[in-house]
Structure 1
């Protein structure tokens, strides 16, 4: 019985090592997700963003945006990246009302969400 216990214990240790390594080193690729998975992924990670994050690090995490815009304002040039976060209509097209806007000035995240978009650009999402 001692030998069987050692084999079982070794199996559990190996299992946990492999599972831990996968969980630690695996990074999700938003480009290969279904739209439902991507919405959940985007909501989860947008909720963890911090002001001042660099555009490149956000894009590395979330992948390419579904929609993007650039605008000049009195406060400077803005880049707005829109990421799909909620389903509205099953038409195969991602529209702005299905996305959350991330606003960047000088490649630094300074605001996100529909209210921020409206505040800085003076128009509601459509």
Structure 2
């Protein structure tokens, strides 16, 4: 009897571990479904992992992070600069997302070229 109970417990733990591993490995985070604190941390973690030689497109960023909190575009006939802002730190708990609570990602013709404070500076000076 005790042996059978132990077998069920071990089997249950094995099934539980298998389900946990499947969720961890195959469940994609959805920023739109997160509460604001989790989304903020998710955005910050994603942006902190960006590397200069990583040629991300705006579509790849939008697919991962979802809709930006703020976005601005400057267009010329041969060039389009777009900066998107994702909230990464709460400054004032007023329910309004402002630029100082966000990290900017600057795209030149749809390709990521800069992020962080340098992105905002470069966007303001451009065109």
- What is the TM-score when the length of structure 1 is the normalising length? 0.85
Which among 112, 116, 120 is matched to residue 119 of structure 2? 116
Q: Which runs of 5+ in 2 are unaligned?
A: none
1:102-125 residue CA offsets vs partner (Å, 9 max, x unmatched): 0111211111001232134339xx
Which among 90, 93, 96 is matched to residue 93 of structure 1? 96
C-alpha contact 2:88 2:103 (8 A) present in aligned 1: yes
Does 2:43 match 1:42?
yes
Q: Report deviation, 1:72.
A: 4.0
Q: Which runs of 5+ in 1 are unaligned?
A: none
1:81-111 residue CA offsets vs partner (Å, 9 max, x unmatched): 1000111112211111110000111211111
SS in 1 for 2:55: coil
Which among 58, 61, 68 is matched to residue 58 of structure 1? 61
C-alpha contact 2:89 2:102 (8 A) present in aligned 1: yes
**Partner in structure 2 of residue 21 of structure 1:** 22
CA RMSD of aligned residues (A): 2.0
Does 2:36 match 1:32?
no
* Off by >6 Å, runs of 4+ in structure 1: none
**Partner in structure 1 of residue 3 of structure 2:** 2
Moved more, 112-121 or 21-30: 112-121
- What is the TM-score when the length of structure 2 is the normalising length? 0.84
Q: Report deviation, 1:76.
A: 3.2
